[in-house]
Amino acid sequence: MDGATSPVTTPAAGETLTFGQTIEPKSFIGLSLKNGLLNIVTLTLYRFWGKTEVRRRVWSHVTLNGEPFEYTGRGKELFMGFLLATLFVGVPYLALILAIQFVSPLFTLLLIPVYIVMIMLIGMAIFMTYRYQASRTIWRGVRFHLSGKATNYGLVYLGYGLVNAVSLGWFSPAMTMRLSERIWSQMAYGDQPLSWKRAEQNNLYGPFAIAWVVGFAGYIALLALMIPMAVKAGRTGVEPGAAFVLKIYGYALVYTLMVVLASVPYHAAVLREIGASIRIGEARLRLDVKGGELLGLTISNILIVLLSLGFLQPVAMARTVKFLISRLSAEGTVALAEAHQAPRGPKTGEGLADAFDVSPF
């Protein structure tokens, strides 16, 4: 129509995301040695404060649009979480073991449901770890937030775990992506939610099949090595000697290296797929991880931790974060300035995660 004006759309205010890092892994050597020595003196109790200091330093060297992240967790929170997990999980489990040994072997019947509950608790521990660390991560004065319930995640984790066991591990790629979706689709920066849209850019089952076949073939080879030795020992009545033990350890080392080599392409594909599936506003993330690079990082980190008897584990963590952030980018924009503050989150830290050793950091 004459005189009519076309509607004008104004693009939503937003900014692009540029990730950066200034991490120098060598600078963590002194902190690593300090934490290690204090752990020895305090019979490992200092680990909660040591872990907090490592995270605080790593977070402060990671930036988004030139502004650093801040970690506000406290060692006391991790320690209190550990005490609660010990009280409500460790003590009942120990009581059951003592009941089996000193009261009646019939208590053994309770082990199966206990182990099932343990699997659910591991899932809960993973969720609670992400929730705690999100609530203690701040950028521009606004904290991150993970909604949802740990029990729900734990039940789903248990269900997926049972399906994975029945499928002899073949459900693992689907399980990994579905559990990742449950975490990242409930994550938010303040009140600005992240979302999950499966990218489907990476073939997960191809590299997974290679890793599975290598692992399965190695297991069969181990049985082929052990069964003849066990049969011979049964016939002669002579227990296997030191040579047999050395063979087993030698084989275990070779087997582990083969599985690591075979699994790296799969894990690299998983990281790329998770990164590409995360959205915040109109921004889409990209994590450019290649198998060869990840293999080099994995082997070097293993050597650093083993040769230092675990003292330099913070160095390995710093190297891992540096590796990932330097390969993280984004396309699109998000209105970060419009974010309002999120709830503070849980009062205690990752007690269950510490008990089951499942903390991602």
3-state SS class at 271: helix
Asked if the structure places residue 83 within a domain, the reply is yes
- Amino acid in position 338: E
Please give the pLDDT value at position 98. Answer: 86
- CA angle 201/206/212 to nearest 5° reads 135
Q: Are 175 and 156 in contact (CB under 8 A)?
A: no
Asked if the structure places residue 354 within a domain, the reply is yes
Asked if the structure places residue 166 within a domain, the reply is yes
Burial of residue 184, with CB atoms counted within 10 A of its CB: 0-12 exposed, 13-18 middle, 19 or more buried: buried
Please give the pLDDT value at position 236. Answer: 72
Asked if the structure places residue 322 within a domain, the reply is no
For residue 131, what are the CA distances in angstroms to 177, 182, 343? 18, 12, 11
Please give the pLDDT value at position 2. Answer: 44
Task: Give which of 277, 272, 305 is closest to 289, Cα–Cα.
Answer: 272
3-state SS class at 229: helix
Q: Which residues contact 271 (CB under 8 A, 6 or more apart)?
A: 287, 289, 294, 324
Asked if the structure places residue 50 within a domain, the reply is no
Task: Give which of 130, 116, 111, 119 is closest to 356, Cα–Cα.
Answer: 119
Asked if the structure places residue 145 within a domain, the reply is yes
Please give the pLDDT value at position 109. Answer: 81
- Amino acid in position 88: F
Asked if the structure places residue 16 within a domain, the reply is no
Domain limits for position 136: 79-191+343-361
Please give the pLDDT value at position 210. Answer: 96
Q: Which residues contact 195 (CB under 8 A, 6 or more apart)?
A: 185, 278, 279, 280
Please give the pLDDT value at position 233. Answer: 67
Residue 285 Ramachandran class (φ > 0 left, ψ -120 to 50 alpha, else beta): beta
Instruction: Count CB atoms within 10 A of the CB of residue 13.
Output: 11
Please give the pLDDT value at position 11. Answer: 45
Please give the pLDDT value at position 54. Answer: 97
Q: How far apart are CA 183 and CA 193, in angstroms?
A: 12
Please give the pLDDT value at position 184. Answer: 97
Q: Are 343 and 145 in contact (CB under 8 A)?
A: yes
pTM (global) more than 0.85: yes
Q: How far apart are CA 335 and CA 273, in angstroms?
A: 24
Q: Are 318 and 23 in contact (CB under 8 A)?
A: yes
Describe the strand order of the beta sheet including 19-21 as a list of residue ranges. 19-21, 62-64, 67-68
Task: Report long-range pairs for 147-156 (Cβ below 8 Å, ≥24 apart).
Answer: 147/186, 147/188, 148/182, 148/186, 150/124, 151/124, 153/123, 153/124, 153/126, 153/127, 153/179, 153/182, 153/183, 154/120, 154/121, 154/122, 154/123, 154/124, 154/127, 155/120, 155/123, 156/123, 156/182
Q: What count of Cα atoms within 13 Å lies in the side-chain half-sphere of residue 185?
A: 11
Please give the pLDDT value at position 10. Answer: 41
Question: Residue 251 has what DSSP assignment?
Answer: H
Chunked mean pLDDT (size 10), the chain, 361 residues: 43 82 97 97 95 97 98 94 89 86 81 90 93 96 96 97 96 97 97 95 96 93 78 70 78 89 96 96 95 95 95 97 98 93 87 71 57
> pLDDT tens-digit profile of 64-106?
999 999 999 999 999 999 998 888 888 888 888 888 878 888 8
How many structural domains compose the chain? 1
Asked if the structure places residue 113 within a domain, the reply is yes
